[in-house]
Amino acid sequence: MKLNKISTIYFSPTNTTKTIVEAIANVFSSEINTYDITFDRTKKVENFKEDELLIIGMPVYGGRIPYLVQEFVKNLKANNTLCIPVVVYGNRDYEDALLELSDYLEEGGFKIVSAGAFIGEHSFGAEIAGGRPNDDDLNIAKDFALKSKQKIQNINSVNDFEKINIPGNHPYKESASATIEWEPETLDNCNDCGSCKDVCPMGIIDKGNPKLITDISKCIHCCACVKVCPQNAKVMTSEMYNKFKEFKGFLMLTCSEVQKQPELFM
Ligand SMILES: Cc1cc2nc3c(=O)[nH]c(=O)nc-3n(C[C@H](O)[C@H](O)[C@H](O)COP(=O)(O)O)c2cc1C
Ligand code: SF4
Ligand code: SF4
């Protein structure tokens, strides 16, 4: 089968999902139609056609895809368009996220060629899966893309694809990340450089005064502002800090020792 257009969609506050999606897409073509929905989940996306391929990546939040992007993904419409869904998780587990993403895509009319769960440095700190995806992860992603490409080349019609078994449960686990109560705060050594406001997917860091979070109830705890701060002045601290510290300690104990490997489904 010949492809006439390759598109990518990703939501990626700390860039690990973007890195994996790009590594896969670049094996298919150097001309990619990209929808980065990190800062705008209302972007208009044209309906996808039969001779196209979509590579779509989402981070795992609480074993699901982030609640913030669910409607966007559910609204994607395709006409037997080929699709490669991937999720990127912080070395704990991806639970129902890949199944959820794949289900929404199939309901929208996509045909799944292959799917993958990759590992990225945990949003909550480099102590967990620091530096991932690393070179090995990227080589695995490229090899996965090559095999997916061969699979597409070897078929004549989208109807020749068999349904892929993707792990996960129905009903999906309850999404807990929407109820996290930690919040980023700014320490006195902030020098007002403004980097944090530029990376906040929710646009809630005040443009004139980046020490200020305008609407904390919208924070998705992605930690993009914490990771980007050159002064280490944006931190997850608050009355809830001890809860965050305890949870991070639990993650470091349970998720940092064994480096998990990507799981691929064809
Ligand atoms: C609110 C929240 C919940 C998360 N839940 C999980 C999880 O359930 N399992 C896991 O392994 N990693 C989890 N992570 C870590 C991210 O999936 C991981 O760091 C991912 O690489 C972030 O993607 P990004 O760089 O594209 O933002 C969570 C991160 C956040 C912010
Ligand atoms: S304020 Fe919240 S949503 Fe915005 S970058 Fe920081 S952690 Fe993410
Ligand atoms: S990135 Fe850090 S130093 Fe710069 S404005 Fe934000 S909190 Fe302040």
For the segment 52-67, the average pLDDT, to the nearest whole number, is 96
pLDDT of residue 52: 96
State yes or no: pLDDT of 179 exceeds 70: no
Q: What percent of the chain lies above the pLDDT cut of 90?
A: 79
Residues 40 and 123 in one domain: yes
- In ligand 1, the atom with minimum distance to the C-alpha of 132 is 21
Work out whether the CA dihedral 96, 155, 261, 133 comes out positive or negative. negative
Residues 91 and 191 in one domain: no
Q: Any idea what the CATH number is for the domain that residue 234 is in?
A: 3.30.70.20
Give the CA distances from residue 174 to residues 62, 91, 162, 254, in Å, rounded to whole numbers and listed in that order.
Answer: 8, 19, 29, 21
Q: Which ligand is nearest to the CA of 205?
A: 2
Closest Cα to atom 4, ligand 2: which residue? 200
For the segment 114-143, the average pLDDT, to the nearest whole number, is 96
pLDDT of residue 178: 57
For the segment 169-178, the average pLDDT, to the nearest whole number, is 83
Q: Tell me if 69 CB under 6 Å of ligand 2.
A: no
Residues 225 and 129 in one domain: no
- In ligand 1, the atom with minimum distance to the C-alpha of 223 is 31
Ligand 3 centroid – CA 124 distance (Å): 18
pLDDT of residue 161: 83
pLDDT of residue 242: 66
Residue 112 or 183, more confident: 112
Residues 169 and 185 in one domain: no
pLDDT of residue 249: 81
State yes or no: pLDDT of 16 exceeds 70: yes
39: Cα separation from own chain's centroid? 13
Q: Tell me if 191 CB under 6 Å of ligand 3.
A: yes
Residues 34 and 139 in one domain: yes
- In ligand 3, the atom with minimum distance to the C-alpha of 195 is 1
pLDDT of residue 151: 96
Ligand 1 centroid – CA 34 distance (Å): 22
- Domain extent, residue 59, equals 5-173+259-265
Residues 33 and 54: their CA atoms lie apart, in Å, by 9
Residues 101 and 192 in one domain: no
Residues 60 and 122 in one domain: yes
pLDDT of residue 234: 94
Residues 61 and 80 in one domain: yes
Q: Which residues of 213-244 are buried (b: 16+ CB within 10 A; e: fewer)?
A: beeeeebbbbbbbbbbbeeebbbbbeeeeeeb
Ligand 1 centroid – CA 221 distance (Å): 10
Q: What pLDDT digit, counting tens, does each position of 208-219 carry?
A: 999 999 998 899
Asked if residue 88 lies in contact with residue 40, where contact means CB atoms within 8 angstroms, the answer is no
Q: Which residues of 103-125 are buried (b: 16+ CB within 10 A; e: fewer)?
A: bbbbebbbbbbbbbbbbbbbbbb
Residues 37 and 159 in one domain: yes
Residues 115 and 168: their CA atoms lie apart, in Å, by 13
Residues 163 and 198 in one domain: no
Q: Any idea what the CATH number is for the domain that residue 9 is in?
A: 3.40.50.360
pLDDT of residue 240: 58
State yes or no: pLDDT of 181 exceeds 90: no
Residues 94 and 182 in one domain: no
Q: What pLDDT digit, counting tens, does each position of 69-115 carry?
A: 999 999 999 999 999 999 999 999 999 999 999 999 999 999 999 99
Residues 113 and 155 in one domain: yes
State yes or no: pLDDT of 238 exceeds 70: no
State yes or no: pLDDT of 221 exceeds 80: yes
How many domains does the chain fold into? 2
For the chain, give the mean pLDDT: 93
State yes or no: pLDDT of 50 exceeds 60: yes
